[in-house]
Structure 1
Amino acid sequence: LGWRTDLRETYVQGKALGTGSFGKVHLGIHAATGEEVAIKTLPKERPRLSRAKLTLLDRLSDSPRVVQLLDCFEDEDNVYIVTEACRGGDLQKFSETYGPLTERCLALVALEVLQVVQSCHRLGILHGDVKPGEPPCTFKTFRAVDFGCSQLHYRHTRLSKRSGTPVYMAPEIFKRDYSFEVDIWSTGVLLYQLFCRQFPFWQGDSYNKALSLDEVAKAITEAEIRMDFGPWLTMSQEGLSFVRGCLHRDPAQRLTLDEAL
């Protein structure tokens, strides 16, 4: 690919930080400066994926809501994408540690996540995988880091590739006919989950049962989305209306990004 090959001379690779779409991420330390970075490893048999990810990061390089690309390396088996490190954790870990969010905290999360989405949409990028494990946060601001399911997209065209984490996919993705509205749907699923600790389409822990992709798709497209139990009984009418607006199955009736912000 013509990229640098001196990764191990430039960075000391540390502990694993996690696994993103199609690749593992490790902490790295710059050998000369001591700067902490994140090093994502992608298998070389998927060069188109590597180049696509770099194209997206490069397009978003001036956005304060997106992790910054620092360098690229390769060896015989892998490519290595070096970005700034985000050490604040993510919403999934925050929720597991502190429990369900209050309505006020949920509103702040919604604003931050939607501003990340806005940064992508303004540059013609559909994020495609909004979920509690992405973006990571410092609990003051969120940053998008994983673009494995993102796509370059022109507003007056339609997308058909089935991509993303199934339980956060909008109904129209399963129909292979969608646009930017799917990121609003995924944000709605994320907010629902953070507020009551379950998904909108299954009651209690029923999602923990092994489900096929067809069963997930059927639930997302047909199951009742209930907000008449537990913490939802304490939420304001404005909050209920907002979450419902994000989770409207008809993308034409769903809240737009501008309306949500």
Structure 2
Amino acid sequence: MCSLPVPREPLRRVAVTGGTHGNEMCGVHLVRHWLQTPGELQRPSFSAMPVLANPAATAACRRYIDRDLNRTFTLTFLKGLPPAGTPDSLELSNQGRELQNPGLSCHFLQYDPAGTGSYSLESVSKNGICLEMGPQPQGVLRADLFSRMRALVASILDFIELFNQGMAFPAFEMDIYRTVDSVDFPRTADGDLAGTVHPQLQDHDFEPLRPGEPIFKLFSGEDVLYEGNSIVYPVFINEAAYYEKHVAFLKTEKIRVSVPALPEITSTLVP
């Protein structure tokens, strides 16, 4: 979800990136398609540019080459660089793993790891939104996920067009999932895995995890139980790319938020 400019100004430029991680095929192949047929992204009130974000990693079919591009854009890294975007721009990033309901509805994850702020690719823009689709095997393109991501991007672009035209949008309430902590795998004294994600937890992203329920199955056969004091909602469960980061899953809390209405703008915003 993007933070909208205040006062309400039209968005004139949109960058649609894909392949931030070179082995996540939905974004890679969508951007390659849009580079051949850029008209699919265009709307009357703004220009949209497809960008293959990490061509070296894409060529090698690897998540990244030297460093994770989606963990790179910290304040330290950006210090001394030109300003990160302009007030009328938006960065739309396509990645590889979105945990969502069927259709076009999706979960909104508010991710601020350890209070460090944004460091992902879309954070270089004044307004950014990241779509993740899946789960999908690394290096594999699935038609259902490809089509869903294509439809989601189209819906966002359609919203921007209506926003630029000054259309009114009613207030509404929604659930968001805010990260609170990460959980590593059980490990031996040497740092090797001592177990894996429990079958009862596997593939249950965004579903409630209650105290006393199993989270890991040790190789010795015992279950490791969740020892927290409250219900949490795990996400990115057993994510392949997170093994190197020592993350078995992220714990989130579900929060109900109110989204204010956007009033109609009677004067045209489209030149």
TM-score by length of 2: 0.26
Q: From the CA coordinates, give the structure whose radius of gyration is larger.
A: 2
Bigger proportion of residues as helix: 1
TM-score by length of 1: 0.26
Bigger proportion of residues as strand: 2
